[in-house]
Amino acid sequence: MPAELRSIAMVDDHVIFVDAMEGLLSLMGYRVVLRAHSAESFMDQMTHAPAPQLALVDLQLPGENGFAVLRWLRSHRPEVPGVVLSFSSEPKLVRAALEAGARSFLSRMEDRHVMKRVLEEVLASGHSTTEVMQRDVERSTVRTRALALGVPQRELDFLQQIMNPADLTYDQVASNMEVSRSAVDGYARWFEKRFGLHSRSAIGLWAIAHGLVQGQSADAQLAFTAWRMNRELTPPPARE
């Protein structure tokens, strides 16, 4: 006998997307029992119908936005976990959604296997941490460490650029940061004056030691910095 489908609500004003998601959710073991195109419609339906086991919420809605839905759930139906399903995964949106009561945050581009895992974890334990949430936590932690060391935001951005595994030139760093090449040279000089770091490799090693590099494992950071140091110390081949 097939397992009973779990009930889910979708709060989203993109009809075609909701239609597609309804089919995908059915394959995952969910039945969409409530569809709402706005926060107001969702709240009204929730007062007149049995509560679903979970709600998928878009943040951009006509009228009141998805944050209002999350706050309403937290206040009026805390037994129904709200999970954001959004096109945008900007850090400020992730933080705002979690503060409003979201139990997890999914990008609409997320792999369906990841989506299935997240929904199952939310139903089982009340929350689930996704990659976009982890990145936001990592950014917050790195920024806190930088503040404690007195590293300004632009110099911190410079650190992330020079630790990019693509081994960007300073001209490329300047382009990515949308500043002049002289400004990038100024960031490097700031580390030299403040911490006595006289080379790009020295800056990289210092950044690793203080946990200021995002998105890479410690081993990957060290391997990259060792490679760059070796390149800096190796004299260029003699011209014939």
46-64 tens-digit pLDDT: 998 889 999 999 999 999 9
Question: What is the spatial distance between Cα 51 and Cα 33, in angstroms, rounded to a whole number?
Answer: 9
Q: What percent of the chain has pLDDT over 90?
A: 48
CA distances in angstroms from 62 to 87, 99, 159, 168, listed in the order given: 15, 21, 40, 42
CB 138 within 8 A of CB 214: yes
Instruction: Give the confidence band of 240 by pLDDT, cuts at 50, 70, 90.
Output: very low
Backbone angles phi, psi at 144, to 5 degrees: -65, -45
Rounded to whole angstroms, the Cα distance separating 209 from 36 reads 50
Q: Is residue 200 part of a domain?
A: yes
**Cα torsion for 229, 235, 237, 240, to the nearest 10°?**
160
Asked if the structure places residue 52 within a domain, the reply is yes
Q: What is the pLDDT, as a whole number, of residue 3?
A: 63
pLDDT of res. 1: 39
DSSP assignment string, 5-16 = PEEEEEE-S-HH
Q: Please check whether residue 50 lies inside any domain of the structure.
A: yes
- Give the amino acid at 176: N
pLDDT, average across residues 219-238: 54
Same domain, residue pair 13 and 100: yes
Which of residues 159 and 218 earns the better pLDDT score?
159
57 phi/psi in degrees, rounded to 5: -125, 125
Domain ranges, residue 97: 6-135
pLDDT single digits (tens) 58-106 = 999 999 999 999 999 999 999 999 999 998 888 788 888 888 999 999 9
100: CATH: 3.40.50.2300
Q: Are residues 220 and 117 in the same domain?
A: no
Does residue 1 belong to any structural domain of this protein?
A: no
In this structure, what CATH number is given to the domain that contains residue 198?
1.10.10
Task: Report pLDDT for 112.
Answer: 87
Cα(120)–Cα(29) distance, rounded to whole angstroms? 10
